Structure 1
Amino acid sequence: MALAYGFVKARIVSPPLLKATRRQHETQYHEHFGVRVNGAHWDVAVNVGTNDDDDLLKYKLVYDFRHPLIQTLKQTPAGSHPLTGTAALPAIDVMRSDILAATGDWRNSDVMDGSGFPEPAASLKRLLVRAQQSQADVYVFGRFYAEGDGIHDTHMNQGSTGSFIHRAGDDSNDHNDIWQDGCVLVDLGEPEWAAYFAAFNKQLVPTDDLGNPLPDAQPI
């Protein structure tokens, strides 16, 4: 069963703030910012890295993003748009669509140290601040919060191992899935948009129809 997935189209109403979340073996960092969705305040959590040099991010921060998806998204109204179970764009799958065509190479994130200086946190924050100041439309793809109003998992959501393995019919864990990848797109009023894509180094591709790594899968 697929998890609750989709995107929000909104404008930023509170500036990005770097927050740390302690996991079992590492600390993960997110840029949190607020958006207004149908009159409600939503929290957005965008992954920017970890303090574990064995589990960093691969990321793309693209300022000349071009794709036919732009025209589709421009025509959508502001608000939340569920895409659970959708197996085509505008749902995002970095392995099964051409969404990353002409976006250049993946970059390695810095090791996060709790400050706002490592990349991609520093550059992403500048982009989000610019988006808020210019009242730009922001499109955030990911999984909706199970409790409260918000969206997270704004990274590739397939190819993980261990507790994230997707077992058919079992929706009890935060599992892999296809056509559920996250990203952030920003319409700055130019023909090209800005885009942010991310995946953890420990996520492996290619993946099967459940989003689990195939036997010969490798890091991106």
Structure 2
Amino acid sequence: MGNGAYGVWKGRAVGSVPATGTRTHFQLRLRADGHHAPSADARVAINVRSDTNPSELLYSLDTDFRHPVTGHLVGFPWGFSPMRGRPGGGAIDYVRGGCVKREHMVPLPCHAPGPDNDLCDAIGRLVLHATETPRVIVYAVGEHWGPDHRRDKHFNFYPACGMHNIHMMQGNVGRFMRDDAPWSDGALFFQDVDRGRWTALFLAFQPQSWHTDEHGHAIPDTPPMAEAPGTPVEGLVRIVAAQVNPKGSDAGHETVTLINRSPLGLSLAGWTIVDARGRAEPLHALFLNPGGAATITLSGKGAQLPNGGGTITLVDAQGSRVHHVSYTRAQAQKQGWTVLF
């Protein structure tokens, strides 16, 4: 991570400056709701081009984003709030958090001939809608900078302050390795309050690796932008259901159902089920027949499934992620019902 504090800036979009020429950032101006003084403003610098080859960023836009992280974001006050780089409090991790999948990210140029076909166009549409719609709230997750004792160079408010590193912040190469950290990735979220809908924008640089260690450093001998840990067995075993809110006490009664999609029997000895806080439930000597399924009852001493929303990750004996799902508070409200994935 850089020198600034990791966190989220919550505000309403009140202006923007698109990237032109050789500029590498789209500039977004946010304002804390209910405030009109320039001191309540912040500038969000959004990368739209890399200054090293390849210049195109990887981009994913989810226009119906559903993930428990939204429940944390809505609880933050207007303006900047610091976050700790760990699961369960609103922090973003592209590799571990289940917010975005590598296969959903595509390279997009900063500028391309024609309308609606480049990264500046995509961000511009989001920002225009947010600016023209009073009930859209923007959450910029990244690294805070300032306040500086000068006017902002793009929007002229005082004092200059804002957010940057609104992109993946791990698996870096070269001089950028010093910024590596887990649970410290950046992203941009738009909450349409009237429609009850979220849109999420995720950005990454092509040389970054999705196979990272506990410090966020790329694991050696993996190609740039390799899929997250678990790719060789991704899809063989999947989490298909969970009883998050069982009748009676949750502890010792929550369940997770797995299915073996392959034509081969699989031993899951040494595998674990991991929750959003990193608590692990060992599977011991579980064996799945070809096409077979198994429902695991969680002991309550390892992985736990909070009713306020969470994530469930299946990890193999080598520590690689095999499958990852998430559920929201709304999905967990009906007691005794099973959530399907």
Report the TM-score range of the alignment, normalised by the length of the smaller protein. 0.7 to 0.9
1:46 positional shift: 1.0
Q: Which residue is 1:171 aligned to?
A: none
Bigger mean CA deviation after superposition, 45-54 or 69-78: 45-54
Q: Answer yes or no: is the 8 Å Cα contact 1:35–1:41 preserved in 2.
A: yes
The SS at the match of 1:219 is coil
Q: Which residue is 1:97 aligned to?
A: 97
String of CA shifts for 1:80-111, please: whole Å, max 9, x gaps: 1101443444100111111226x971121125
Aligned-residue CA RMSD in angstroms? 2.7
String of CA shifts for 1:50-99, please: whole Å, max 9, x gaps: 47662321110111111122233223322211014434441001111112
String of CA shifts for 1:97-127, please: whole Å, max 9, x gaps: 11226x9711211253699865121021111
One-letter code aligned to 1:137: I
Summarize the alignment of residues 152-171 of structure 1 with structure 2, pairs less than 5 Å apart.
152-166=164-178
Q: Give 4+ residue runs of structure 1 displaced > 3 Å after superposition.
A: 50-53, 84-89, 111-118
Pick the aligned partner of 2:31 from 33, 36, 41. 36
Counterpart Cα distance in 2 of 1:64 and 1:104: 17
The SS at the match of 1:217 is coil
Counterpart Cα distance in 2 of 1:95 and 1:89: 16
Q: TM-score, normalised by structure 2?
A: 0.54
Q: Answer yes or no: is the 8 Å Cα contact 1:205–1:218 preserved in 2.
A: no
1:109 aligns with 2:121: no
Q: List gaps (5 residues or longer) in structure 1.
A: 22-26, 167-174
Counterpart Cα distance in 2 of 1:177 and 1:104: 22
Q: Answer yes or no: is the 8 Å Cα contact 1:50–1:111 preserved in 2.
A: no
The SS at the match of 2:169 is coil
1:203 positional shift: 1.0
Bigger mean CA deviation after superposition, 153-162 or 182-191: 182-191
Q: Which residue is 1:216 aligned to?
A: 221
One-letter code aligned to 1:134: T
Q: Answer yes or no: is the 8 Å Cα contact 1:51–1:113 preserved in 2.
A: no
1:120 aligns with 2:119: yes
The SS at the match of 2:109 is coil
Q: Label 1:58 to 1:153 Cα distance change in 2 as closer, same or farther (>3 A).
A: same
Q: Answer yes or no: is the 8 Å Cα contact 2:48–2:110 preserved in 1.
A: no
Q: TM-score, normalised by structure 1?
A: 0.81
1:207 aligns with 2:208: no
Number of residue-to-residue matches in the alignment: 205
Q: Label 1:18 to 1:130 Cα distance change in 2 as closer, same or farther (>3 A).
A: same
Q: Answer yes or no: is the 8 Å Cα contact 1:61–1:195 preserved in 2.
A: yes
Q: Answer yes or no: is the 8 Å Cα contact 1:50–1:56 preserved in 2.
A: yes
Counterpart Cα distance in 1 of 2:61 and 2:85: 27
Q: Which residue is 2:10 aligned to?
A: 9
Bigger mean CA deviation after superposition, 143-152 or 133-142: 143-152
The SS at the match of 1:77 is coil
